[in-house]
Amino acid sequence: MTIQAELEAILTCLESIGQPLSVGALQNHLAVDMPKKTLQRRLKKLVEHGQVIADGEKKARTYRLASYGISSSATERSVTESLALNEKGNEYNQHPIFSAESLAQLTYLNTPPYGRTKSTYQRQLVEQYTPNKTFYVPLSVRTKLHTMGKRVDKALAAGTYAKEIGQKLLIDLSYNSSRLEGNTYSKLDTQKLIEQGVSAEGKVHEETVMIMNHKEAIEFLIENAEDITLSSFTVRNIHYLLSQDLLANPNACGKERELEVTIGKSAYTPLSNPHQIKEVLARVLLKAEQISDPFEQSFFLLVHLSYLQAFEDVNKRTARLTCNIPFIKGNLCPLSFTDVPQEDYFKALLYFYETNEVQPALELFEWAYKKSCEQYDVVKESLGDIDAYRIKYRAARKEAMGLVIRNDISGAKISAFLSRYCHDNQIEQPDKFIAMTIADLEQLHEGAIIGLGITEAMFKAWKRR
């Protein structure tokens, strides 16, 4: 039996039983013979892919489908008792993400697309939204998430916290965002790819490129946190970095689409007029930029960029990274979409596309942010390790880098130029400044030139020297 067949057998068994199962109980219920160690390896893989959720520790650990959960009282009952209660009609099952009301709303999607009401893009959703007066995220939720997501007690430069957890954020967000697109890289393989450049065996090239694109795009957000604004320029740069070498039409990377697109398994049809797409994207981002609350701003970006489908492809990935800008700039816990089940994620978005109702998407957003906070539940005092020198001279460093590139300085001449720059600008510890700036220049790429006062053409010309 193939590994894929074994994985499908496990998922089928969990779905048919409908209750969390221990490894032993699952082994007994499986329709195929599978050694315990093999079963444990397959379950680990399903957990990594977000298809199965593990609850409890060691011998008390049970496994359930990611799309379903149960109340704490039910976890204390045996499978036999649980099934018996079901036969009596007692309802104790609860979805881990959605409320009963949202679950009832989502049953709308059980009807095939051809049987649902056809819908098109509704511009009034943006036009009637008034920043800081209209709210998708209730005050109680905003307050709660802000308390959970706060990571620093003092004013620090934008992006400071994201830099502190940079490597972990690169891995978590790259892995989870790619997983939601069907990428089969495990988290461990994602880590190896990001940290060592080692591709996993047996993966298609597109999966590797998808993860590396995420890495570049997230680095772009972190490095340029102080200068980034919610503009078409920013979103197009994010899209370019995420979509490079993945689209059939390379010219479509970082550019609003000029052709019609459809949404699979949906009765929703996005805008098709290229002029309107550019106009509405600019309008969405103008409204978003005016929103003062980071959680309202993030959720607004997540749903509206996904809904607009401004690009030929890679729209949801662009939305997931863009919605992190408020958190990165505000030194809040980022949203890494940890453990978010793929099916629930797409159902919530699809329901918003077709009905313009936000409740399921909002509940998923709230749940996902709580999960991310647990993932990054680090001691605030660890920020005391931040290099104060690097922060103090960030603006000067960027100015110097821009001058190097604009003046087309390369090779050994860079060090001499920076030495003069340090003297003219009274930079303390010039050797440290020079080493830091040269290292930044070596790592510089097209997606990280915001704030340097240079154009992409200038950078490419300098890079070719």
Asked if residue 314 belongs to a known ligand binding site, the reply is: yes
This prediction's pTM:
0.68
Give the domain ranges of the chain: 3-94, 107-385, 388-463
> Are 162 and 225 contacting, i.e. CB atoms less than 8 angstroms apart?
yes
Class of domain 107-385: mainly alpha
> Are 198 and 192 contacting, i.e. CB atoms less than 8 angstroms apart?
yes
Q: What is the pLDDT of residue 91?
A: 39
For the segment 197-210, what is each residue's pLDDT rounded down to a tens digit?
888 888 888 999 99
Asked if residue 315 belongs to a known ligand binding site, the reply is: yes
Asked if residue 387 belongs to a known ligand binding site, the reply is: no
Asked if residue 412 belongs to a known ligand binding site, the reply is: no
Asked if residue 280 belongs to a known ligand binding site, the reply is: no
Q: What is the pLDDT of residue 28?
A: 85
Percent residues over pLDDT 90 in the chain: 56
Asked if residue 316 belongs to a known ligand binding site, the reply is: yes
* Residue 432: how many other CB atoms lie within 10 Å: 15
> Are 241 and 447 contacting, i.e. CB atoms less than 8 angstroms apart?
yes
Query: % helix / strand / coil in the chain, to the nearest 5?
Result: 60, 5, 35
> Are 182 and 166 contacting, i.e. CB atoms less than 8 angstroms apart?
no
Q: What is the mean pLDDT of the chain?
A: 86
Which letter does DSSP use for residue 34 in this model?
A: -
Asked if residue 313 belongs to a known ligand binding site, the reply is: yes
Q: What is the pLDDT of residue 89?
A: 39
For the segment 11-58, what is each residue's pLDDT rounded down to a tens digit?
888 887 777 888 888 888 888 888 888 888 888 888 877 778 888 777
For the segment 348-367, what is each residue's pLDDT rounded down to a tens digit?
999 999 999 999 999 999 99
Class of domain 3-94: mainly alpha
Which letter does DSSP use for residue 111 in this model?
A: S
Asked if residue 394 belongs to a known ligand binding site, the reply is: no
